[in-house]
Amino acid sequence: MSGYGGLVAALLADDGTRPWTATVPRRLDDVLASMPVRARAGLRGAAAAVDAYAVARTGRRLAALGSGERERVMESLGARTALAPVLDLLKVPVLLAAGTERLLHEGRPGPLLAPPDDPPLDCVPAEEWPARATADAVVIGSGAGGAMAARTLARAGLRTVVLEEGHHHTTASFGRRAPLDRFAELYRDGGATVAVGRPPLLLPTGRAVGGTTLVNSGTCYRTPDHVLERWRTSFGFSLAEGMPDRLDEVERTLRVATQPLDVLGNNGLLALTGAERLGWRAAPLRRNAPGCKGSCQCVVGCPTGAKQSVQLSVLPDACAAGARIVTGARVRRILVDADRPGGPRAAGVRVRRADGSELEILSPLVVVAAGALQSPPLLRRSGLGSHPGVGRNLSVHPATSVAGRFPEPVTAWEGVLQSVGVEELHGQGVLIEATATPPGMGSFVLPGVGRELRRELDGADRLATLGAMIADSPSGSVHGRDRTLIRYDLSPRDSARLMTAVRAMAQLLFAAGAEEVLTGIPKAPRARSLRELDEVLTGVTARQLHLSAFHPTGTVAGGADPSRFPADGEGRLRGVTGVLIADASLLPGCPEVNPQVSVMAGALGVTGG
């Protein structure tokens, strides 16, 4: 039996009248089991603190209280603003579990059509791979950069092996399981990766064949021209020169097109309505999802096969050209021959299997595409991370969400997950996107506890949600060798941009007809007009927002200055021959847009495509 039953009953005001609430504690246990030890410990501590508060007030723990007593305890807790962060920490996993159980009990349909068969991949579990092998090229990571690098190298005739720490998941497997059941397997740390700092940021990244492309929104922005010009002139990132042609190739590969209106869903249509009434620039997003059915499950694997993540669009071509993918393979280190004439040279990789045994693949070319959060620790483990720029220069697109309550049902989770881009403030570093998720799985946290939170849950179908990400300064760093530690502190400029984003999203929702806006800020959770919003936001800072972050970049940046950049402008790691950087860590500055296409175009250039 779950030890969180009393807490769940208190947070959700469970009075026994709704069958789905009884199964939330067990689902919560599953959510917590997928999280890293430190995250679980923090949540246990927060839950214990709430229970201790109940004992101090009533002499009994939450599980021993009746519904009325629990409600009084929660009302008292909710009135103490200093405890708001503790309650919000607990609400995130509880709402995840509650959203899933409600979805299942209410019998909302999944995909209406059986998914097509996935294109074949040559995947071999690490346990079945020989202890010693050779290759012409080894690619570490199967996400956006790794997949494109593998395709290019295999097509050039090189015997190419792709190493992936996660596992291969098929489209058919997504359709057989509830969204939350897929979450833990598809994300590193069960989706609970956190950047510590002021404030902490949730920073989810994928871990599976296909990497984060498997769980992203499918939004495909081209790298803006002014960003490419800055990378070229300010950083000496010579790959920027040929990016437009490579971006064209990536868009063809992913079958990128503007999302048609008929599957946007009400969430996207309301964003377009608000923008039109304000005279703001907005349009349906360009996505890699031809034939999208609007199942709103992009972030846990598309169950219809419409989204062309790289395990459907790039890796099949790589395998057809001879590449092989080893799954469940954590690369411990890049092997280096330090005594070769001309200086150190890549010699292969050493890999750890899940059972702790190891294998080696000898190769003169190693492509690092483990992602901006994992590539720096890998280089340090390999004795290749001594450059002072390794792990620094981290940008993460800090993001926040706002919801609007409308008089009629919106049912935001029916339609495209990320559907509309509002670019009116993009020149000021703020990109707004209409984004909805399966119930409870978004970064927006409903206000209140007890009966107030229950009312919000019951009225969630009338909410439309917007998210905004900002073009940030490189304010973070990645530390560690075996265990990754991420540090990120918001700069004052970026804090101001986030507050600008909150007001702009609220303005858009009011223009679309929202009766009320939910800010996600415990101190100022709701407003019924823009004037009231300005009043409640007085004195609020970005550190009081519910923040998440996406698209980490820049931690093994490429550029012309050897003292500043660990890699050169062509993606070659300095200090060693035969090691290329082909993931988001190579980008020298914030891309200011969803970066999948930029990363893939960069990898194409790094490997000679």
Give the active site residues.
Answer: 551
Dist CA 477 CA 588 (whole Å): 14
Task: Tokens for 265, please give them.
Answer: 């869903």
Dist CA 112 CA 106 (whole Å): 17
177 neighbors 183 (Cβ within 8 angstroms): no
Beta-strand runs (E) in 255-329: 257-258, 282-284, 286-287, 324-327
Give the angle subtended at the CA of 286 by the CAs of 280 and 292, to the nearest 5°. 120
Candidates 205, 249, 296, 220; CA nearest to 594 is: 220
C-alpha pair distances (Å), 249 with each of 34, 148, 259: 37, 11, 19
3-state secondary structure at position 226: helix
Q: Please report where in the chains the tokens 């990120």 appear, as a residue.
A: 488
557 neighbors 566 (Cβ within 8 angstroms): yes
Amino acid letter, 286: R
Task: Find how far residue 578's CA is from the centre of its chain.
Answer: 30
Dist CA 356 CA 91 (whole Å): 36
Candidates 548, 138, 229, 581; CA nearest to 389 is: 581
User: Up-side HSE of residue 607: CA atoms within 13 Å toward CB?
Assistant: 32
3-state secondary structure at position 457: helix
User: Up-side HSE of residue 254: CA atoms within 13 Å toward CB?
Assistant: 33
Task: Find how far residue 560's CA is from the centre of its chain.
Answer: 30
State phi, psi for 182 to the nearest 5 degrees. Answer: -90, -20
Amino acid letter, 51: D
**Kind and range of the H or E run holding 179:** helix 179-186
State phi, psi for 514 to the nearest 5 degrees. Answer: -65, 140
SS3 per residue for 127-141 = HHCCCEEECCEEEEC
Packing angle between helix 84-105 and helix 179-186, nearest 10 degrees? 120
Give the angle subtended at the CA of 435 by the CAs of 430 and 438, to the nearest 5°. 150
Dist CA 316 CA 120 (whole Å): 6
Task: Find how far residue 148's CA is from the centre of its chain.
Answer: 20
Helix then strand then coil, in percent of the chain rounded to 5, is 40, 20, 40
Candidates 448, 456, 340, 472; CA nearest to 398 is: 472
Beta-strand runs (E) in 316-356: 324-327, 330-337, 345-352
Task: Tokens for 155, please give them.
Answer: 């097509």
Q: Please report where in the chains the tokens 């931690």 appear, as a residue.
A: 555
Beta-strand runs (E) in 409-529: 418-422, 430-435, 463-470, 476-479, 485-488, 516-518, 526-527
